[in-house]
């Protein structure tokens, strides 16, 4: 399904990629041996912060 918001989609995608790359605020599914996991809410907050222009 397309929402017609390509700029917003790119912004969110880059924010998700950045949060995962940092490894600081990732949930259990994405945590590595070198990182600790946080809840979904904290990860979402980190993504939203990065996605804010």
- How far is residue 5 CA from its own chain's centroid? 18
Planar angle of CA 15, 47, 23, nearest 5 degrees: 85
What is the pLDDT at residue 21?
93
- Evaluate whether residue 52 is within a structural domain: yes
What's this model's pTM, rounded to 2 decimal places?
0.85
Residue range 1-53, pLDDT digits in tens: 578 999 999 999 999 999 999 999 999 999 888 888 999 999 999 999 999 87
Q: How many CB atoms lie within 10 A of CB 29?
A: 8
- Evaluate whether residue 31 is within a structural domain: yes
Q: What is the dihedral of CA 23, 16, 18, 9, to 10 degrees?
A: 180
What is the pLDDT at residue 1?
54
* DSSP helix/strand/coil, 42: helix
- Evaluate whether residue 5 is within a structural domain: no
- Evaluate whether residue 13 is within a structural domain: no
Residue 50: domain span:
25-53
């Amino acid at each position: 399904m397309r929402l017609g918001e390509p700029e917003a989609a790119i912004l969110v995608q880059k924010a998700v990629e950045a949060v995962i790359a940092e490894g600081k605020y990732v949930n259990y599914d994405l945590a590595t041996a070198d990182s600790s996991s946080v809840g979904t809410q904290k990860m979402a907050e980190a993504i939203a912060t990065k996605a804010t222009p």
